[in-house]
Each structure stands twice: as structure tokens, then as C-alpha cells.
Amino acid sequence: MTTCDVCGTEMNMPYHCNHCGGTFCSEHRLPENHDCPGLDDWGDPEGVFDSGFDDSVSAGNQSRSSKGLLERIGIDTGPGGPLAYFRGNMTYVFLGLMWITFLFQFLVATVAIGTPNLQVATLSSELYRSIFVLAPQHPEYVWTWFTSVLSHGGFAHIAFNSIVIFFFGRLVEDYIGSRDFTLLFLSSGALAGLGQVLIQLYQGLPSAAAVGYFPGGVVGASGAAIAIMGVLTILNPSLRVYVYFIFPVPIWLVTIGLVAMNVLGMFGAGGQGVANAAHLIGLAIGLAYGQHVRDRIRVPNQLQLGGGRGPGGPGGPGGPGGRGPF
């Protein structure tokens, strides 16, 4: 039986609020009856319950006293505008950009070295590295702080990160809004990569002339993906994760396992070429951010995947516990 988040009444047919993610009885289903966080924005003429790209709506004010940055430079962020699609969908936008970048990597590798081998291109092509790799030789290439987040070292690498982001990213985006999710994704990915590169510089890398290839560097959205998991660990620690799509465990246990694997990996017990420090930095950022927002985020006590729109993208609150494959 599902219970109302306000009064605790057990229901067979609950009502789900698509804006705050809560589960309510018939008496509390209306936003004004369950103190919905978006209630103050009800009179927003540009769209009810803004997802975060323009947060210039003042609480309790029916008219805007100021315009958001995007609106001030002439970009319509309201419903039907050019950015309307991105509201609530930045998880999928980043997934699409990752796969587009992955295909572009093969194209550039083919042009640079005559073969679409990403590993060889990473080690031997300065052109390829200057576009896709956050490298210790050139940390001043600021664009690589972000292009490296969208780039990946192989199919297994991008597939794993895509699974994590697809299942968990939309949950976090619905909790914190598209704008904050975008900032979290890019900042955690970039900071995780920079942290890994700084460690490589501290350890000391041989010159390319000495070893015949370019050593070091980092690519991948793993730092951002694990940051997303860190946020969920704080906001919804009992969320059930199906490891290998079979074994159900709470997400807090998965997080502990990730910490253990990456700590061991830093001492040589993990696989070669794994950015263990980047993973731990991303997780630390996610945990810290989750702790920062936990008091202002309404997290439903039950989640399920499938049917309707709510936290979890194609899923919504309602099933016992919470679930997400991993």
C-alpha cells in the first residue's frame, strides 16, 4: 500500500505530483494542499513550475521584477521557445552529446593517424589529444576540461557511463532542476579530470620524447556519473540498485563498494588505466552537493521505473522502495 506524504493515509490509487515528486491522497493532491515547492511560481506567465533554466521568478510575486540571463540576451526560455526541449531533458542531452563526441573521436583519429583506433590516437596524436584529452602536458587547454568529459576511451567505457547517467541522471535532474543538474554534471566532470591530472603531474610523467608517446591524460564522464550517484546516496540512500540487473542492493552500499574499489585501485589493486582519483573526486562532489541541497529537496519515499513522468524520467514515484539497474 502507498501512503500519503502529508497525512500518511494508505491508498490503493495514489496521486503523484509531477512537479515535486510527492505521493498524495485525494485530500492533499492539489499543490496548495501539500505545500508544493513550485506553488509560488503558479502565476509565472512564462510557464508553471520552471525547471531551472531561468530562476528569476520571485516567490509570491505574480510579475517578474527582473529577467533571467538568457531572457536578457534575447533567448526565449519559455514553453515553445528554442530551449523548451531542454527543460527536464538535460540528462538525455548530455547522453546524446557523449555519443556524438564518441563518433567524432573516431573521425578525428582516422584523419590524424589513418585508423580509428582511439587508444593509439590518444598516445600518438597531438591533434587528437588537444581536442579530446585533458592532458597534464597542457592543462591550460581550457576546452579540454569539458570536451574530455564527453569523450571516452572505448565502447565499454561510454556504455557503462551511459547506463549510470540514463538511469540515475534523470532522478537527480528532477530533484534539483535542469540548470543545477547541468552545472553539477559539467563542474563535477571537469574537477574530477583536473584532480586526476594534478595527481599525474605530482607523480611526475616522463616526456614524450623519452618514452615515444604522450603519457597521462584523462577522458570520460565517469566523474560526473559517480557524482550523480553521490547525490542520490544522500537524497535517497535506500534507492534499490540492481547490480548487473540481477542483485538488488541499496545505493549506499554500491557507493561504499565504489569507494573501496577506487581506493584499492590507487594502490595498484585495480585495473590499469582507471582514473581512480577522478572517480573519488566526483563522488566527493556529489556527496557534498547532496548534503547541501537535502533540506530543500522534496524526495519521494517511493520510486519506480515505468509509466508517467516524475522523478526517474520515464518512471515516477509509486513502487515500493526505489530501483535502478547498475
Higher per-residue confidence, 321 vs 293: 293
**What is residue 97's predicted lDDT score, i.e. its pLDDT?**
96
Cα R_g (the chain), whole angstroms: 22
User: What separation, in Å, do the N-terminal and C-terminal C-alpha atoms of the chain show?
Assistant: 27
Whole-number Cα distances in Å, 6 to 27, 36, 298: 10, 11, 12
**Grid cell of 92 as nine digits:** 538525455
Contacts of residue 321, Cβ cutoff 8 Å, sequence gap at least 6: 238, 239, 240, 302, 303
pTM equals 0.69
Axis-axis angle for helices 222-235, 155-164 (nearest 10): 20
Domains of the chain as residue ranges with CATH = 1-41 (4.10.1110.10), 85-294 (1.20.1540.10)
* 201-225 per-position pLDDT tens digit: 888 888 887 787 888 899 999 999 9
pLDDT given for residue 312 in this prediction: 34
The model's pLDDT over 86-144, given as tens digits with 9 standing for 90+, comes to: 677 899 999 999 999 999 999 999 999 999 999 999 999 999 999 999 999 999 999 99
